[in-house]
Amino acid sequence: MSSTLKKLPFEKTNAFTPFFLDFIAQKEGLKKFYNRFPEKNAFTAQVEEKSKNYSLNNRTVLTKAIQNQYQGLTISDIVEHNITALSDSKTFTVTTGHQLNIFTGPLYFIYKIVAVINSCKQLKAQHPEYNFVPVYWMASEDHDYDEIKYFRLYGKKYNWETSQQGAVGRFHTKEFKQLLSEVPGAIELFKKAYTQHDNLADAVRYYVNELFGSEGLVVVDGDDAELKGLFKAVIKDDIFNHTAKTKVDKTNAELEALGYKPQIYCREINFFYLDKGLRSRIEQKGDVYEVLDTALKFSRQEIEKLIESNPEKFSPNVILRPLYEEIILPNIAYCGGPAEIVYWLQLKEVFQHFNTSFPILLPRTFGLVVDEPTQRKIEKSGLALEELFLEKNYLFNHIVLKLSREKILLNGQKELIEKQFEVIKSQASVIDQSLNNMIAAETRRMQKSLEKIEHKFLKAEKRKQSDRLAQVESIKNSLFPNGSLQERTDNFLNFYQQHPDFIKHLLNNFDPFDLRFNVLYL
């Protein structure tokens, strides 16, 4: 299978927020909210900074924890080397995180991992004296089951139904049997993942290792007592001092003053109580700390003792999960999507307070995969690459106006009539100014009538060009299912089942430091 790649500036896709686009453009007002921009020449200073505030003890604990997590899993030599290398002071990570979506979820999950793998390869080439390990951080403690329970394959939605509650990584996989019988095509990888492993976290680690182990990707599960032990000081500070709220509220006010809407808001306590079948928020009510929706209550002394003895029972929310990652990992860059980049920008002061390096924020790879049949349709339609990203109705109007032999729009006529009404309005002002409102109303009525006629012209021309528009609609539905970007909707099996070397093509084509949108023709 051969492939070719074209690229578009993000703003040409009409798919990204002004906040994210301003970050990409390095707008001056946003620079104070991050440490260094994701350019390869920025990593020398980032490595030096991380070296100073990441301890050998953390490396030792991390390496041992990951080795324990990989017990019983067959791993490649390069994964084994990378895990061991984490104990070396010259080893650093580039990390991406994601929920435990079934069957990998949307396509962009694969793009995230490709980005961290390729960034580590490029950094190693530039800095051969260091080791760079790509890391996938499993969001195993999340309890948003509704967000992970489905995936879309060949236009159909497949659901995993379970009544389990609490951290999704701890969910047992017994109920996958029915779903596995429904999914078409070759899915042996996922059958082994979900039938040979007892919980979702182990299943995800297995299939991610099977897909990317040859590239040295290391999977990390933060739901780990030893790793949580490195986070005790932050747990105590948040529960008793609420420092994170003070810092994030200040940053949010600064962003709002610049015209940006913050992505996340901070609570006084940013931890959940985590136990079997339970992940529920901790709230302080007077001198008592309550676990919402349960009968659990703790005094200050009791909860302080619990943090010391069982830190694994405290699960950070979106505010403090990034800090947790950066404290336990020798991380120099975090790779995330637009929403992730935005909320990380809200957290720099929290990192500074805890003397933890704020990582370089590397936007994940963004892409659109065009298969050969769709490519032929595009060529036949005469559409330019940029036009594919237009909203469908706008695109249809654009095509009709471009191809019609008749004059559809009434721009010239509108201007002539509007000028006549201006003359009439001048006359009326001399006679009786009270007539102006009536003339203004008649002007608006005339404008609406012309717009109605114009709409009828456009509708009639669309009927004439129905075959062409049907072809364009087929292209749009293929590349933008449900009106959304393909990467946010389709599963990678849409391509992997037909092209087993699909991931290899992504690795060969996607450059994580080229901050443009990728269109890959297969």
pLDDT digits (tens, 9 = 90+) for 232-272: 999 999 999 999 999 999 999 999 999 999 999 999 999 99
Q: Is 353 left (phi over 0), alpha (psi -120 to 50) or beta?
A: alpha
Q: Distance between CA atoms of 453 and 447, rounded to whole angstroms? A: 10
Which has more pLDDT, 378 or 446?
Answer: 378
Stretch 199-211: mean pLDDT, rounded? 98
Q: How far apart are CA 510 and CA 515, in angstroms?
A: 10
* 155-187 pLDDT tens trace: 999 999 999 999 999 999 999 999 999 999 999
With cut-offs at 50, 70 and 90, classify the pLDDT of residue 460.
low
Return the structure tokens found at 191.
């059958």
Residues with Cβ within 8 Å of residue 392, at least 6 apart in sequence = 473, 476, 480, 483
3-state secondary structure of 28: helix
Task: Give dist(CA 381, CA 469) in Å, integer.
Answer: 9
Q: What is the pLDDT of residues 69-118, one digit of tens each?
A: 999 999 999 999 999 999 999 999 999 999 999 999 999 999 999 999 99
Query: Which tens digit of pLDDT belongs to each residue from 464-520?
Result: 566 776 787 888 999 999 899 999 999 999 999 999 999 999 999 999 999 999 999
Q: By percentage, how much of the chain surpasses pLDDT 70?
A: 87
Whether the per-residue pLDDT at 404 is higher than 50: the answer is no
Cα 472 from Cα 318, distance rounded (Å): 41
Which is more confidently placed, 288 or 462?
288
> Quick one: average pLDDT of 138-153?
96
Instruction: Give the pLDDT confidence score for residue 383 in this predicted structure.
Output: 84
Mean of all residue pLDDT scores within the chain: 91
Give residue-wise pLDDT tens across range 308-339. 999 999 999 999 999 999 999 999 999 999 99
Say yes or no to pLDDT of 439 above 60.
yes
Considering only the C-alpha atoms of the chain, give the largest distance between any 2 of them, rounded to a whole number of Å.
94
- Residue identified by tokens 């109007």 is 397
